[in-house]
């Protein structure tokens, strides 16, 4: 939101009260409090009739600082609040003298300069990371008595900003205006389903604004050397997180806001759906699943989209009896074919349903200020919205899902949850503006907790669209409604990379695009991209996404990359476990792995799948693609070609290939021949050594799976020999170097 007219003037109708100096300071229970009048105090008369802003600085965790700026402090505690963790008892150092007031935690220091013009600095290891300088912080008075609290943190020369949720606009956010407000706008707009008020930069720090409602960012836009963020109201709270590396920033941010639990192994396989508005019954679904088997396409999950329920009956959680007269029998017959079942749901209740009557009578539906049920015809006729702030409503909603779980359902696609009105009254009296985004958290938490309670820890997974801060604790999320075009495929990737830099570990997208009918060339390329993503789903709007509908080549491409992903499961599962421990996304921007490589800081058409595999999807029908390889000797996983970086390569790939490179001096765990993601892959385990230099030691971390402890493996190159140390690994397994394979049968072995 812009408050200025150029650099010098304020917008008409707006007055900014900015701190003029850090006039007074004190320590209170480990918190540094600084009192800043909005005009300089030269004599006692200047202390009269003047507003004062209070800055409270504390540290919830090492090298993380919380800054709370407030004007009036007599208001009621607003709700909802983000559920944030802290690490009590860590050391902080508060110092106050006539020249400065500071708080330090580890290598991060917050410093207020006293006695002169306003200057608040954040230093990492003695280096200025960012600062709030003259006219940056402010309490803004606007038209009709509205007020805002805003801050502007400086950007250095060459500083780039990333994150702010799943954004489909340019990957580097400099120059963009970003409003943190969930909307159902598709992937082709500046709107997004997952808005996160957190950004990080290539200068070693991240900023998280602790406000669940609308936060407006001007990212090097209103003032080109600053990031401005503001909220409406009397106070603003934000955290500055020191890295210095992007990985360390994400680790500390997710320690604060939460990390994803490990999705079940079966969820990493291929998902196939009925698509959105297509016609289907048990015969249709069975024919799809049988045809997948006939085409030797391993299928892990079958998803029923909206029309498993009757039209105009969303959401009543009742199968359409005209097409599915025996739901329990249908699910039993389908699951006997080896697939898991997912159902589409949303939190909206159409007016004609019995559930609407129940919800209205018991107060489970969102209400207007006059006590009436809030309703709309947008989506479903006369629909209402479940009020998840009411514990009884949450239990009532979960009870409907429990019936479906008892029938044999394994997972739910938690669609929608973005169009949440603000002209309403919530059961727990939450502030409507703050609840708009936060609704997605309560919705997905309700469903995820039910799945976990029913199936057990480690077996819960949703396919969610809307999210806010902390939503990463309820995986998996997908990118929403994209078009069947190459530009939309690229914008989907940008959204996923931005979401990964916002604390979310597991992400997916609609293979082939949601809207429209993908051309064969696009479908081929999206298959490769989708099956080298965290989670992989074939889904569309008005047309089926079964591979044979796009020709025999599409079937072969789908088979090739499905089997490749399954063969990569030992590696992917270990990387997924690491995601749950560190908060680092399974699909990640190149800057996370190579933050010092200037080229990697802007790459948005390639990514790392885990820490080791570099993937560059092909975004052209003719198979041409540009890929950047950082320093070192990279091995193409499919061809075995070794290429030396750093540098750009222009490559041309057929439909069965794409740039897929293994990192220099790395070991990749694979299980060729595996046809299920949740099978015991230890019997076919291969560890592939890539471009290992003389004297180099590399490590491959394996994880326990199905009760089999696999452990870690270290390999050291000595001339033409490789010394293998794997004291805790399962034996035997194969070590593959180039075109040679060696059987490893002892904890220490040289080959």
User: Residue 397 to residues 388, 406, 502: CA-CA distances in angstroms?
Assistant: 9, 15, 29
Rounded CA separation 474/261 (Å): 7
Rounded CA separation 158/172 (Å): 12
Rounded CA separation 9/471 (Å): 40
Q: Residue 495: phi, psi to the nearest 5?
A: -60, -45
Please identify every residue annotated as catalytic: 415, 418, 481
Q: What is the 3-state secondary structure (H, E, C) of 315-380?
A: CCCCECCCCCCCHHHHHHHHHCCCCEEEEEECCEECCCCHHHHHHHHHCCECECCCCCECCECCCC
Best CA proximity match to 7, nearest among 231, 225, 232: 225
For the chain, report the end-to-end CA distance as a whole number of angstroms: 64
Question: How many CB atoms sit inside 10 A of residue 726's CB?
Answer: 23
* Strand order from edge to edge, sheet including 100-105: 93-96, 100-105, 108-113, 120-124, 127-132
Best CA proximity match to 401, nearest among 462, 458, 459: 462
Q: To 10 degrees, what angle do helices 391-407 and 432-455 make? A: 40
Rounded CA separation 342/494 (Å): 27
Q: What is the 3-state secondary structure (H, E, C) of 248-299?
A: HHHHHHHHHHCCCCCCCHHHHCEEEECCCCCCCCHHHHHHHHHHHHHCCCCC
Element (H, E) at 581: helix 569-582
Rounded CA separation 159/149 (Å): 25
Rounded CA separation 293/270 (Å): 12
Buried b (16+ CB within 10 A) or exposed e, 24-51: ebeeeeebbbbebbbbeeeeeeeeeeee
Rounded CA separation 420/437 (Å): 8
User: Residue 159 to residues 178, 225, 250, 605, 611: CA-CA distances in angstroms?
Assistant: 18, 9, 18, 20, 24
Q: Is 741 within 8 Å of 735 (Cβ atoms)?
A: yes
Q: Please work out, in degrees rounded to the nearest 5, the angle formed at the alpha carbon of residue 643 by the alpha carbons of 640 and 649.
A: 115
Q: What's the DSSP call for residue 71? A: S
How big is the chain, counted in residues? 751
Q: Is 348 within 8 Å of 415 (Cβ atoms)?
A: no
Q: Is 674 within 8 Å of 569 (Cβ atoms)?
A: yes
């Amino acid at each position: 939101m812009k408050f200025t007219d150029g650099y010098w003037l304020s917008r008409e109708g707006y007055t900014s009260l900015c701190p003029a100096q850090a006039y007074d300071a004190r320590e209170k229970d480990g918190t540094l409090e600084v009192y800043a009048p909005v005009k300089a105090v030269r004599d006692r008369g200047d202390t009269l009739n003047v507003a004062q802003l209070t800055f409270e600085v504390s540290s919830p965790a090492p090298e993380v600082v919380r800054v709370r700026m407030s004007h009036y402090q007599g208001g009621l505690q607003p709700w909802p609040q983000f559920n944030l963790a802290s690490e009590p008892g860590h050391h902080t150092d508060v110092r106050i003298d006539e020249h400065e007031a500071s708080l330090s935690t580890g290598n991060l220091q917050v410093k207020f300069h006293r006695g002169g013009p306003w200057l608040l600095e954040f230093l990492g290891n003695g280096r200025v990371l960012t600062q709030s300088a003259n006219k940056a912080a402010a309490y803004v008075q606007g038209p009709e008595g509205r007020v805002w609290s805003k801050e502007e943190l400086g950007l250095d020369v060459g500083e780039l900003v990333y994150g702010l949720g799943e954004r489909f606009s340019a990957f580097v956010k400099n120059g963009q205006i970003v409003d943190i407000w969930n909307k159902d706008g598709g992937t082709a707009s500046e709107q997004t389903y997952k808005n996160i008020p957190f950004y990080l930069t290539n200068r070693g720090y991240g900023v998280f604004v602790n406000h669940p409602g609308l936060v407006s960012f001007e990212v090097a836009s209103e003032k080109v050397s600053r990031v401005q963020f503001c909220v409406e109201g009397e106070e603003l709270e934000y955290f500055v997180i020191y890295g210095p590396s992007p990985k360390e920033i994400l680790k500390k941010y997710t320690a604060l806001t939460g990390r994803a639990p490990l999705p079940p192994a079966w969820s990493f396989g291929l998902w196939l759906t009925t698509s959105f508005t297509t016609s289907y019954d048990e015969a249709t679904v069975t024919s799809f699943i049988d045809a997948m088997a006939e085409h030797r396409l391993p299928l892990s999950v079958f998803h029923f989209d909206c029309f498993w329920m009757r039209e105009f009956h969303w959401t009543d959680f009742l199968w359409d009896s005209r097409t599915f007269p025996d739901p329990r029998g249908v699910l039993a017959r389908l699951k006997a074919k080896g697939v898991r079942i997912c159902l589409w749901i949303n939190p909206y209740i159409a007016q004609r349903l019995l559930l609407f009557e129940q919800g209205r009578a018991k107060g489970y539906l969102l209400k207007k200020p006059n006590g009436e049920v809030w309703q709309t015809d947008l989506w479903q006729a006369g629909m209402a919205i479940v009020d998840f702030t009411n514990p009884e409503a949450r239990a009532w909603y979960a009870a409907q899902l429990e019936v479906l779980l008892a029938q044999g359902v394994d997972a739910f696609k938690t669609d929608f949850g973005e169009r949440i009105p603000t002209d309403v009254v919530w059961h727990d009296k939450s502030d409507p503006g703050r609840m708009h985004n936060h609704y997605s958290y309560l919705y997905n938490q309700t469903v995820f907790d039910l799945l976990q309670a029913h199936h057990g820890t480690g077996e819960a997974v949703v396919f969610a669209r809307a999210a806010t801060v902390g939503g990463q604790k309820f995986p998996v999320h997908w990118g929403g409604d994209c078009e069947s075009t190459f530009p939309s495929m690229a914008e989907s990737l940008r959204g996923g990379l931005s979401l990964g830099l916002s604390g979310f570990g597991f992400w997916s997208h609609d293979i082939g695009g949601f809207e429209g009918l993908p051309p064969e060339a696009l479908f081929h390329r999206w298959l490769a991209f989708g099956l080298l993503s965290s989670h992989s789903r074939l889904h569309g709007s008005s047309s089926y996404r079964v591979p044979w509908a796009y020709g025999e080549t599409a079937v072969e491409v789908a088979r090739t990359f499905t089997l490749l992903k399954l063969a990569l499961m030992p590696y992917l599962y270990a990387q997924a476990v690491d995601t749950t421990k560190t908060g680092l996304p399974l699909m990640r921007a190149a800057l996370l792995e190579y933050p010092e490589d200037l080229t990697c800081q802007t790459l948005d058409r390639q990514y790392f799948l885990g820490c080791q595999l570099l993937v560059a999807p092909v975004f052209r029908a003719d198979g041409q693609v540009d890929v950047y390889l950082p320093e070192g000797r990279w091995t193409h996983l499919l061809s075995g070609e070794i290429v030396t970086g750093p540098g750009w390569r222009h490559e041309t790939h057929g439909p069965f290939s794409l740039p897929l490179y293994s990192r220099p001096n790395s070991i990749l765990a694979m299980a060729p021949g595996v046809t299920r993601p949740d099978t015991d892959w230890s019997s076919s385990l291969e560890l592939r050594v890539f471009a290992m230099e003389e004297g180099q030691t590399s490590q491959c971390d394996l994880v326990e799976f199905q009760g089999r402890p696999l452990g870690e493996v270290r390999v050291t190159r000595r001339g033409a020999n490789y010394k293998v140390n794997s004291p805790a690994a399962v034996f035997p397994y194969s070590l593959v170097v180039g075109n040679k394979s060696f059987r490893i049968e002892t904890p220490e072995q040289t080959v």
